[in-house]
Amino acid sequence: MPDEFDFSAMLRQAQALQEKLKQIQVEAAEKTVEAQSGGGMVRVVVDGALRVRKIEIDPAIAAAGDRAMMEDLIVVAVNDGLRRAQELVAQEMGKLGPLAGTSLPPGIFGGGRG
């Protein structure tokens, strides 16, 4: 019967897609992006798992004693770093393009309506 639904084929496709997704997540987590604020006075490094790996603060900021400015610059740099890391992850997920176009039903990974 050519119209018969092949559940085992769908399951294999789902498993392959899930494995590829895991691989992409691991690869993205190993990559980092850098962001800065205050003309480079604050620099942050964020990885693809959205973890802040490093914060560098120019000693001139601390010497100035302007705590509010330093806090603002840190917030700006961290938020920009997180945004850049999210873009990195989105680009990596774009690699799923060919696999994502398979005939998997919507919500196969639990993202269905509810």
Give the mean pLDDT of 21-37. 91
List C-alpha distances in Å: 24 to 27, 44, 46, 59, 82.
Answer: 5, 23, 17, 38, 18
Answer whether residue 108 shows pLDDT above 50: no
Q: What is the pTM of this model?
A: 0.69
Query: In percent, how much of the chain has pLDDT > 90?
Result: 46
Rg (CA), the chain: 21
CATH number at residue 63: 3.30.1310.10
Token pair listed for 62: 């601390």
| The pLDDT of residue 12 is above 70 | yes
C-alpha distances in angstroms, 54 versus 27, 33, 65, 82?
A: 19, 11, 22, 12
- Residue span of the structural domain in which 38 resides: 8-97
pLDDT tens-digit map of 79-106: 999 999 999 988 888 877 755 444 444 4
- In-domain check, residue 19: yes
Residue 114 lies in a domain: no
45 near 33, Cβ under 8 Å? yes
Q: Is residue 91 part of a domain?
A: yes
Q: How many domains does the chain have?
A: 1
What is the predicted pLDDT for the residue at 3?
Answer: 56
Quick one: average pLDDT of 18-35? 89
Confidence of residue 17 (pLDDT cuts 50, 70, 90): confident
Q: Is the pLDDT of residue 34 over 90?
A: yes
